[in-house]
Amino acid sequence: MKDLNPLERESTVEIQNLSSFEPRDIFHCGQSFRWEKKRDNRYLLVACQRVIEVEKKGDRIIFHNTDIRDFNKVWRDYFDLDTDYEKIQKRLIRRDPVMEEAVKFGRGIRILKQEPFETLISFIISSNNNIKRIKGSAEGLARTYGEMIEFYGGEFHYAFPTPKALSTATVEELKLLGLGYRARYVKETARKVWENPGILEKMIKEKRRECLEGVTNFSGVGPKVGSCVVFFSMGKREAFPVDVWVKRMMEVLYFQREASLKEIEDFAMGKFGKYAGYAQQYLFYYAREKKIKNIR
């Protein structure tokens, strides 16, 4: 196979007839931070040492700047393409009008399988913070400590920094990127990961409970951040991260009273079982979008 065309052109991979894949839902549901909305419902993201652009056109999903080899090796898993979302949705809405509403609203959501270290650091930064600022900080970390990957679409793109690179940062430098008091958590956590090679990979092999325990040992990681990390990057799809939105939502819709974190978690895991994490994401997206218009 030869390509004699000397002109630069974007390579793309396209798939069809895949239900539950809306870039808008996938990115705005708040699970990841290193993406940017481009023209015509196109989203550019940096992940796994690559730059990719995702576009939905009718029933076609187009992945720009990739090829079939990379698609199968990386993006198929990253976008959770082999999971049957219709089945999950049906299971969740059974005898549950509340969830039915939430699922209907966020039917295009797909839970990304993100990289553990990036997810860990990003969600430490997310605590008591807003999305816009989190995105800015994550981008700043990449530009400052990450490797340049590619010049694409008129700009340079940087990978999320490695534990080693991030360990070299000082707390003062990190504060300049808007991390605030989370700077020291990030610094400490990066150093701990760097000094214990394979520590995150080892946790991935453990079951949810032990995995969560391990992750929570990092500085700046409590129950909520920890649950997000194990859910979004360590394959623990039965985890149920409880943030303020989900807490409010669960109290109003299921409890009709105040409920503790543990109470809510137990209830959800009993009710939604191995799909609890997906349930959480539908609820969170629904609750937040209904309240706040200006997500951007």
Partner DNA sequence: CCCCAGGCAGTTA
Partner DNA sequence: TAACTGCCTGGG
239: tokens are 């985890």
Write each residue from 65 to 104 as x if it is in contact with DNA (CB under 7 A), else as -, in one continuous string: ----------------------------------------
Residue of 31, 66, 167, 233 that binds DNA (CB under 7 A): 31
Catalytic residue among 56, 113, 187, 224: 224
225 scored as a contact of DNA (CB under 7 A): yes
Residues that contact DNA, how many (by CB under 7 A): 39
Write each residue from 174 to 193 as x if it is in contact with DNA (CB under 7 A), else as -, in one continuous string: -x--xxxxx--x--------
Handedness of CA 182, 185, 188, 190 (dihedral sign): negative
Neighbours of 69 (CB within 10 A): 9
Residue of 92, 112, 138, 228 that binds DNA (CB under 7 A): 228
Residue of 222, 266, 274, 290 that binds DNA (CB under 7 A): 222
Handedness of CA 259, 105, 289, 234 (dihedral sign): positive
- Nearer to DNA by Cβ, of 31 and 66: the residue is 31
Residue of 129, 143, 152, 191 that binds DNA (CB under 7 A): 129
5 scored as a contact of DNA (CB under 7 A): no
288 scored as a contact of DNA (CB under 7 A): yes
Does 224 participate in catalysis according to the annotation?
yes
Mention every residue, 6+ apart, whose C-beta is less than 8 A from residue 241: 224, 227, 228, 231, 277, 280
User: Nearest Cα to 126, choosing from 185, 191, 50, 193?
Assistant: 185
Residue of 140, 243, 278, 286 that binds DNA (CB under 7 A): 243
Cβ pair 169, 190 in contact under 8 A: yes
What whole-number distance in Å separates Cα of residue 143 and Cα of residue 160? Answer: 8
176: tokens are 């300049």
Instruction: Compute the least distance from the CB of residue 20 to DNA, in Å.
Output: 18
252 scored as a contact of DNA (CB under 7 A): no
CA dist list (Å): 282 to 44, 192, 215 = 23, 33, 24
- Give residue 70's identity as a one-letter amino acid code: D
User: Nearest Cα to 213, choosing from 201, 227, 232?
Assistant: 227
| Residue carrying structure tokens 């939604």 | 272
294 scored as a contact of DNA (CB under 7 A): yes
Residue of 88, 121, 221, 283 that binds DNA (CB under 7 A): 221
Cβ pair 171, 184 in contact under 8 A: yes
Cβ pair 174, 187 in contact under 8 A: yes
49 scored as a contact of DNA (CB under 7 A): no
- Nearer to DNA by Cβ, of 148 and 295: the residue is 295
Write each residue from 267 to 286 as x if it is in contact with DNA (CB under 7 A), else as -, in one continuous string: -----------------x--
Cα 52 to the center of its chain, rounded Å: 15
121 scored as a contact of DNA (CB under 7 A): no
- Nearer to DNA by Cβ, of 17 and 130: the residue is 130
User: What residues line the site for DNA (CB under 7 A)?
Assistant: 29-31, 123, 126-133, 175, 178-182, 185, 218-226, 228, 241, 243-245, 260, 262, 284, 288, 292, 294
Catalytic residues: 224
